[in-house]
């Protein structure tokens, strides 16, 4: 059953309106995602090689999308001038001394322009600025490096192959070590000697441990020296006394200092002592003579008797 003309008009209007709204939603979504309605500035970077970069590719700064490539033009015969359209609100955070390089959005992704570096003190980029270009490591460079690594790897493998062949043939130290029976026996003997030496070292270590334990016992000199808290202060005091004595020897005002330093005084003292020795000898003779004197003989005989009596108490 066909609807009435009026109802049909409403349905057609509704149909078209919803379709138009979907279209508008699509336009706004694209516009928002592509920043169509955002204010932008344009700066330029001159690359020697753009490696497939094209209009509309993204620009990243600190991992965030900040704009798109606006235009690519040849500049002379060696450079491509790339106009970068950057969102104005993002441009305030991009220093004017930032570098631009061409990167890739993932391993197989689209080309992108990466802005990096720059000093925080530099002015933000402005309309018409020309950015410096940094070194980019593109897939071609990565592949070239890998190719160089492959060549090196082949060379290493070839060398290794030759080395293993020589070892297998018994050439060189390693080859002899692997194939020579005499060298093997010698090495085994050396190992046995080393084992014996190790055992001896073990015994020596055990003896040293016992000796150390004995030294550590109380009353042992080493233990006392290591643990006593009085010896060291006494030694320090004695050292100070000796230092004072030595100081006294050096002092010319003291008797010892005078004797040590004044040769005339020392000679006088020596002469005095000699005189004293002679006087003492003469005095001893005089006293011997006195013992035989009539007046004093009784005293000495009396003392002898008392001494004999004291030595022989049983009598």
Partner 1 sequence: MPRSRSLLSPGVDRFLAAVGDGSEFVVRFFGSFWRPPWHVREVIRQCFEVGVRSLPLISLTGFITGIVFTKQSRPSLAAFGATSWLPSLITLALVRSLAPLVTALVCTGRVGSSIGAELGSMKVTEQIEAMEVSAINPFKYLVVTRTLATTLMVPVLTIYCCFVGLTGSFLNVAGNEAQSLQAFVKSGFAQISFLDLWSSVAKSFIFGFTIGIIACYQGFHASKGTEGVGRAANASVVLAMFAVFIEEVLIVQVIHWLRSV
Positions touching partner 1 (CB under 8 A) are 3, 5, 8-9, 11-12, 15-16, 18-20, 22-23, 26-27, 29-31, 33-34, 36, 56, 108
Least CB distance from residue 19 to partner 1, whole Å?
4
Please identify, using beta-carbon distances, which residue of 13 and 117 lies nearer to partner 1: 13
Please identify, using beta-carbon distances, which residue of 14 and 273 lies nearer to partner 1: 14
Least CB distance from residue 35 to partner 1, whole Å?
11
Gap between the Cα atoms of 168 and 160, Å rounded: 12
| 69 burial level (CB within 10 Å; 0-12, 13-18, 19+) | buried
Please identify, using beta-carbon distances, which residue of 5 and 219 lies nearer to partner 1: 5
Neighbour tally for 114: CB within 10 Å: 21
Least CB distance from residue 87 to partner 1, whole Å?
15
CB 75 within 8 A of CB 162: no
Strands 130-133 and 40-47: parallel
Please identify, using beta-carbon distances, which residue of 39 and 229 lies nearer to partner 1: 39
Please identify, using beta-carbon distances, which residue of 29 and 227 lies nearer to partner 1: 29
CB 44 within 8 A of CB 83: yes
Please identify, using beta-carbon distances, which residue of 27 and 155 lies nearer to partner 1: 27
Least CB distance from residue 7 to partner 1, whole Å?
9
CB 44 within 8 A of CB 130: yes
Q: Label residue 202 left, alpha or beta by phi (over 0 means left) and psi (-120 to 50 means alpha).
A: alpha
Please name the residues in contact with 10: beta carbons below 8 A apart, sequence gap of 6 or more: none
Least CB distance from residue 121 to partner 1, whole Å?
35
Q: Label residue 87 left, alpha or beta by phi (over 0 means left) and psi (-120 to 50 means alpha).
A: beta
Q: List residues bridging with 75 in a β-sheet.
A: 79
Least CB distance from residue 132 to partner 1, whole Å?
29
**Quick one: CA torsion of 98, 101, 106, 107, rounded to 10 degrees?**
-150
Least CB distance from residue 69 to partner 1, whole Å?
13
Please identify, using beta-carbon distances, which residue of 16 and 165 lies nearer to partner 1: 16
Please name the residues in contact with 303: beta carbons below 8 A apart, sequence gap of 6 or more: none
CB 84 within 8 A of CB 70: yes
Least CB distance from residue 4 to partner 1, whole Å?
11
Please identify, using beta-carbon distances, which residue of 37 and 198 lies nearer to partner 1: 37
């Amino acid at each position: 059953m066909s609807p009435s003309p009026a109802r049909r008009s409403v349905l057609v209007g509704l149909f078209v309106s919803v379709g138009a709204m979907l279209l508008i939603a699509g336009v706004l979504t694209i516009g928002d995602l592509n920043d169509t309605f955002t204010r932008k500035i344009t700066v330029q970077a001159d690359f020697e090689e753009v490696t497939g970069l094209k209009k509309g590719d993204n620009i990243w700064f600190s991992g965030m999308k900040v704009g798109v490539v606006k235009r690519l033009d040849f500049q002379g015969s060696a450079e491509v001038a790339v106009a970068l359209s950057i969102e104005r609100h993002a441009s305030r955070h991009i220093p004017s001394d930032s570098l631009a390089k061409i990167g890739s959005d993932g391993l197989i992704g689209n080309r992108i322009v990466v802005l990096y570096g720059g000093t925080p003190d530099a002015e933000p980029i402005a309309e018409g600025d020309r950015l410096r270009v940094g070194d980019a490591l593109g897939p071609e460079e990565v592949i070239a490096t890998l190719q160089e690594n492959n060549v090196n790897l082949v060379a290493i493998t070839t060398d290794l192959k030759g080395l293993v062949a020589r070892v297998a043939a018994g050439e060189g130290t390693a080859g002899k070590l692997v194939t020579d029976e005499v060298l093997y026996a010698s090495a085994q003997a050396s190992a046995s000697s080393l084992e014996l030496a190790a055992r001896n070292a073990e015994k020596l270590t055990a003896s040293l441990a016992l000796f150390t334990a004995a030294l550590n016992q109380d009353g042992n000199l080493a233990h006392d020296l290591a643990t006593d808290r009085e010896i060291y202060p006494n030694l320090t005091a004695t050292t100070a006394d000796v230092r004072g004595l030595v100081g006294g020897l050096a002092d010319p005002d003291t008797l010892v200092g005078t004797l040590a330093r004044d040769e005339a005084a020392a000679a006088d003292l020596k002469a005095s002592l000699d005189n004293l020795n002679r006087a003492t000898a003469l005095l001893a003779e005089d006293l011997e003579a006195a013992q035989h004197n009539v007046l004093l003989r009784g005293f000495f005989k009396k003392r002898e008797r008392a001494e004999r009596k004291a030595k022989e108490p049983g009598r």
